[in-house]
Structure 1
């Protein structure tokens, strides 16, 4: 084909594409194509199994009688369209949950017609969002949700609790608070850790919670071997659920902390020497397992333990999931009703908890329903502090030493002096051997104490760092007597 024959083909494709699609770029420079009037956008360069824009364009040209074009003409047209799109405005794309106008948020139902749920403090409804307000990005992990049922009068929440094996009412209200948090794109939520004896239905319960948000195709997966694969899995969906954890490396623990509260990675772009692209992520995370061993203090502040118990009556998988699929529209409708009530409820923000946004959500849930979610959340964090201390011999030794300090007084020593003091206290008169991982230098001790500082503070042991004209010091003190629990609650 001559060059004169190629030019009209490029022009036909370009004119058709600009007439039927809207092209824009995201903050990281990725160009997306969005069919006019439809909220779903596809990356220009995507070749994924969910379909590429190139395929979408070829089908449109063929069905509208414009012809079938060869690869060269299509490539040249798309290169031009992509270059033009880089001069357009920036708009974000979202997976599953997105912020909207006037304080509303959106939930993508994953439907081909683009229908989504708009959630507002005044109510919720199902509609196709304006493409200028919300652009959905879908991947192979984006499952379809059923149309939620209106005016359920809370029936769906009761149905969900009957299907799950939560140990008590406190665990149930924390699970509800987490589900509501998953519908908020700006609220970091702690990662539920479903635990309990063997046969308690931890994996089944985890799947149910995930499928309320991700649809019936949502599932649990094994923990990736490295952080890069974990980030890839997280970026492709909204809720990431890791099943049957039995051990947690420091690297995996740190990665989970970043996923819960948000972080960003910078990577080199493929086939380039100096170009980079940014990968930002903050996603709801869910974990299941009987025991993961020692929990690091920073991760403990981001976990939400949900204990399950063994069911008295066993059911077949087919029967259980058939019943769940049948009631899922009612469960989703009840969750949306409750979300509207919670967002409209006023409550003070607890300022003493790390996950302040989730603590505020629990307080709003209490104001709307009286469930006692905030007290249950505080109790769960207290239990996690106990788990951290039980798994850390240094924390136990500091507590043992602090027991001999008068309340309201402090002791100051250099890090090397503290290391000598605590080591001697641990080894005792029989000089028992030091455990693996015991600090070997004052600097290592200081770093370990910084990690343990919030956990020990919850037990009334205050640690601070300072310096004199000649040296640096670490100060350990016992706080004064804490007020009674009812007075602490009244402060909030």
Structure 2
């Protein structure tokens, strides 16, 4: 056969690839490849340590006896495949947890065979998902989970709580509610903050909680020094666990708020001047530490304090983790059983809490088990409000002034007038020096009050803003007590 009659290498590669792989694109234009019938997708441009599609294609062609091809032929073939895939339908990829058809959700077990857990309204099954329903994306942070045990009769939850050193039922039921929330991809969940005295096992409990979802290779890590590195780590896994926090900078606090409730970051694409790529993320977050100092109000509404105590009997690391590894399939099976029951329960959604989806989940858990998760969640938010107030001298001064207001009567002043009023109240007759960070202008005061508004409202102080012909104003009031008949009806 003459050279002109030979099939070009790029054509052989392209034909083989289209026969044995499925190609699609995501909303940001990234093209992925899946082996036929396999749910794990690899970006065709990836050269990461988890394996690229280029490597996968080369190995499979060699094993099938198609041949070994040089880099130029592979590049030309993949360039054509990528161009063709850009005309295909858009499909998202997911890490660890994904929505499915008919109200089901999926949990990736991280296995090479692609077997996953399908959680549906009537139960859960271990299946290999249809690639058109779920496409898994794997990274170095994706660990393998054991096959969950069946017919556990709920004993796995008791085994987990026995291994952790939670201070009481309130922290235990909130930890269980958070784990159930981690299996729901569409519901933001508050970030548990494991706190307690030194030696209470905060790091160990944090690892145990996250490894139920992330596998035994999941681990805690130090908080990155900048937001970009934090976002990179968050986007590569499902649960992000930060260990031994001792200080919370404003930038880190804002980044954590975005992680919990969801945000998007846009960055310049490498080796380009005008192209960008989008990184969207909303992930479960877990924190540990003795004390992080002053907590900002917006983060406080997204935290879930879980308190631990020092154990009376110490065990070696080897004994503890050997037992955990042995019971992990039972723990996971019990968690899946409880998740199905909770999702089937009917409960009203509390309308006064910011994380309303998680509050409803707590209400469903209470209907199913009677653990009292919703009252515990409300109490935890109340404690966090106290922490915010104790760390903010402006909030303390506002509450002190509000105590002098007549209930039901609004006090209305400009921001500058309020600044003078509150500053005079703080300084007092002895002209006490103002603390660092005290508002210096009416605009700064207005912005600080907007951050504190939910915290102050939880303490019965309402702050509002408005405008008249004379200019803008800030209004402060305490609601009037309800009539005696309404108070009796409340009880």
Q: Place the TM-score, normalised by the shorter chain, in its bin.
A: over 0.9
Question: How far apart are the structure 2 equivalents of 1:488 and 1:229?
Answer: 55
The residue number in structure 1 matching 2:343 is 343
Q: Which residue of 2 aligns with 1:174?
A: 174
Aligned CA-pair RMSD:
1.8
Could you list the structure 1 runs, at least 4 aligned residues long, displaced by more than 4 angstroms after superposition.
2-7, 486-491
Would the alpha carbon gap of residues 252 and 468 (structure 1) be closer, same or farther in structure 2, given more than 3 Å must change?
same
Q: What displacement does 1:424 show?
A: 0.3
Deviations 1:324-369 (A, max 9, x none): 0000000000000000000000000000000000000000001111
* Contact 1:179/1:209 (<8 A) preserved: yes
Q: Give the match's secondary structure for 1:165.
A: coil
> 2:453, 2:194 → 1: CA distance?
26
Aligned counterpart, 1:233? 233
The alignment partner of 1:315 has SS state of: coil
Q: Is 1:224 aligned to residue 215 of structure 2?
A: no
**Partners in 1 of 2:53 and 2:487 — Cα distance?**
60
| 1:446-491 Cα distance to aligned partner (Å, 9 max, x none) | 000000000000000000001110111000001223799x989989
Q: Aligned in 2, Cα 1:3/1:50: closer, same or farther, shift over 3 Å?
A: farther
SS at match of 1:88: coil
Residue 409 of structure 1 aligns with which residue? 409
* Distance (Å, rounded) in 1 between the aligned partners of 2:489 and 2:206: 31
- Give the Cα separation in 2 of the matches to 1:6 and 1:14: 15
- Unaligned runs of at least 5 residues, structure 2: none
Shift of the 289–37 alpha-carbon distance from structure 1 to 2, 3 Å rule, reads same
Distance 1:255 1:482 in 2: 40
Cα 1:5–1:177 change in 2 (3 A) is farther
Residue by residue over 1:280-330, the C-alpha shift from the partner in whole angstroms, topping out at 9 and shown as x without a partner, is: 000000000000000000000000000000000000001100100000000
Assess, with a 3 A threshold, how the Cα gap between structure 1 residues 375 and 11 changes in structure 2: closer, same or farther. Answer: same
Q: Is the 8 A contact 1:190 1:303 kept in 2?
A: yes
In 2, Cα distance between equivalents of 1:455 and 1:482: 22
- Aligned pairs for 1:308-457 (under 5 A) are 308-457=308-457
1:89 match: secondary structure: coil
Distance, in Å, in 2 between the alignment partners of 1:109 and 1:155 is 21
**CA separation of 1:285 and 1:331: change in aligned 2, threshold 3 A:** same
Structure 1 residue aligned with 2:197: 197
1:40 paired residue number:
40
Counterpart-to-counterpart distance in 1, 2:329 and 2:482: 47
Q: Distance in 1 between matches of 2:440 and 2:5?
A: 76
Structure 1 distance, partners of 2:319, 2:420, is 62
1:5 deviates by 8.7
Tell me which residue corresponds to 1:135.
135
Q: Tell me how far apart the structure 2 counterparts of residues 231 and 157 of structure 1 sit (CA, whole Å).
A: 32
CA gap 1:453/1:347 in 2 versus in 1, 3 angstroms: same
- In 2, the alpha carbon distance for the partners of 1:104 and 1:76 equals 40
Tell me which residue corresponds to 2:113: 113
Distance 2:367 2:5 in 1: 70
C-alpha change, 1:257 and 1:140, in structure 2 (3 Å) is same
Say if 1:192 and 1:6 are closer, same or farther in 2 by CA, change over 3 A. farther
SS in structure 2 of the partner of residue 210 of structure 1: helix
3-state SS of paired residue (1:295) = coil
> Which SS does the other structure have where 1:266 is aligned?
strand
Q: Distance in 2 between matches of 1:170 and 1:239?
A: 22
* SS state at 2:50 partner: coil
* Partner SS for 2:8: helix
Q: What is the match of residue 15 of structure 2?
A: 15
1:199-249 deviation line (CA, Å, top 9, x unaligned)? 000000000000000000000000000000000000000000000000010
Q: What displacement does 1:390 show?
A: 0.2
Alpha carbons of 1:74 and 1:488: their partners in 2 closer, same or farther (altered >3 Å)?
Answer: farther
Residue 243 of structure 1 corresponds to: 243
CA deviation digits over 1:72-108, x for unaligned, max 9? 1111001000110001110000000000000000000
Note the C-alpha offset of 1:8. 1.6
How far 1:151 sits from its partner (Å)?
A: 1.1
Contact persistence 1:6–1:73 (CA under 8 A):
no
Alpha-carbon distance between aligned partners in 1 of 2:105 and 2:434, rounded to the nearest angstrom: 54
**Matches for 1:261-340 after TM superposition, within 5 Å:** 261-340=261-340
Q: 2: CA distance between counterparts of 1:259 and 1:328?
A: 27
1:73 and 1:91 map into 2 onto residues whose CA distance is 28
Separation in structure 1 between the aligned mates of residue 196 and residue 354 of structure 2, nearest angstrom: 25
Separation in structure 2 between the aligned mates of residue 158 and residue 384 of structure 1, nearest angstrom: 27
Distance 2:42 2:245 in 1: 34
Cα displacement (A) at 1:121: 1.6
Partner Cα separation in structure 2 for residue 12 and residue 128 of structure 1: 30
> What's the offset of the Cα at 1:31?
0.2
User: Taking structure 1 as reference, are residues 410 and 74 closer, same or farther at Cα in structure 2, changes over 3 Å only?
Assistant: same
TM-score, L = length of structure 1 = 0.97
Give the secondary-structure state (helix, strand or coil) at the position aligned to 1:193: strand
SS in 2 for 1:139: coil
Cα distance in 2 for partners of 1:50, 1:3 equals 38
